[in-house]
């Protein structure tokens, strides 16, 4: 068993849970963060600890409470006494149409998608430096140009992209910092019509949704792959962001 320890935020469900299962299958010990999804987090912890005893710990935290992040970081280190990797996966995502959005929505979206990762990286930097660790931030292909009806979310993810590139320089050479910009990986939790789904699929050269496992495999690659790779954001979107190239 590897002794390396990875913290994954938003780990209880969907992509976070798949990242957790994959890293655990590779032998890593995990600290899984959750907020509202307590039942799912406990079930995942029990499932993974049944495969390898005492290999997974849980930490509950509301990431919008930025003043509590440093205390959370201390609880994370207490779990296993070390930290080698951080995956900033937790994210609020919902529509905020321009002209009909609120300061509370701004604070929530900015906190979970940008501010909490910033302060969590800051609080855990020394522990990651001790083990020449790595950080992976979950960005979004819409961070650069924005997603219709989701301007606040897009702005927050753009800030996370800036953090990824800037922090790579700040923490080099001891800590590597990279990001993943997913495209359409899972259908959103709110239902879409068949026509809406087809519209999304028709914009993807690979003509399918991505799989959560593909995100998890890329996270593992960025955490424990080439030591010379830092400051990069990989678009994992089936070629969607390459659209618009002129044909010969």
Give the pLDDT confidence of 72-120 residue by residue, as tens digits: 999 999 999 999 999 999 999 999 999 999 999 999 999 999 999 999 9
Determine which of 65-69, 140-144, 171-175, 243-247 has the lowest per-residue pLDDT on average: 243-247
The residues that are catalytic are: 153
| pLDDT for 133 | 98
Give the pLDDT confidence of 34-48 residue by residue, as tens digits: 999 999 999 999 999
Is cis: bond before 173, omega within 30 of 0?
yes
| pLDDT for 183 | 85
Q: What stretches of 9-151 adopt beta strand conformation (E)? A: 29-34, 56-60, 85-88, 134-138
Q: How confident is the model at residue 185 (pLDDT cuts 50, 70, 90)?
A: confident
Please give the domain boundaries of the chain with CATH numbers for all domains: 5-240 (3.40.50.720)
Q: How confident is the model at residue 33 (pLDDT cuts 50, 70, 90)?
A: very high
Residue 189 has pLDDT above 80, yes or no: no
Alpha-carbon gap, residue 210 to 216, rounded angstroms: 11
Q: What is the pTM assigned to this prediction? A: 0.93
């Amino acid at each position: 068993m590897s002794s390396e320890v990875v913290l994954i935020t938003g780990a209880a469900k969907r992509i976070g849970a798949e990242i957790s299962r994959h890293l655990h299958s590779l032998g890593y010990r995990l600290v899984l963060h959750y907020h509202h999804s307590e039942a799912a987090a406990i079930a995942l912890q029990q499932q993974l600890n049944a495969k390898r005893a005492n290999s997974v710990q849980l930490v509950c935290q509301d990431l919008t409470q930025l003043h509590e992040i440093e205390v959370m970081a201390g609880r994370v280190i207490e779990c296993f006494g070390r930290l080698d990797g951080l995956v900033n996966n937790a994210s609020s995502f919902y529509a905020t149409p321009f002209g009909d959005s609120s300061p509370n929505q701004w604070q929530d979206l900015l906190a979970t998608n940008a501010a909490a990762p910033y302060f969590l990286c800051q609080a855990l930097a020394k522990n990651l430096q001790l083990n020449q660790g790595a950080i992976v931030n979950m960005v979004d292909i819409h961070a650069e140009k924005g997603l219709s009806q989701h301007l606040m979310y897009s702005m927050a993810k753009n800030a996370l992209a800036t953090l990824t590139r800037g922090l790579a320089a700040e923490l080099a050479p001891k800590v590597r910092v990279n990001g993943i910009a997913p495209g359409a990986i899972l259908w959103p939790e709110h239902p879409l019509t068949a026509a809406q789904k087809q519209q999304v699929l028709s914009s993807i050269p690979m003509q399918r949704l991505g799989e959560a496992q593909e995100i998890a495999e890329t996270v593992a690659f960025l955490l424990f792959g080439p030591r010379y790779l830092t400051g990069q954001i990989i678009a994992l979107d089936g070629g969607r962001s390459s659209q618009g190239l002129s044909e010969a």
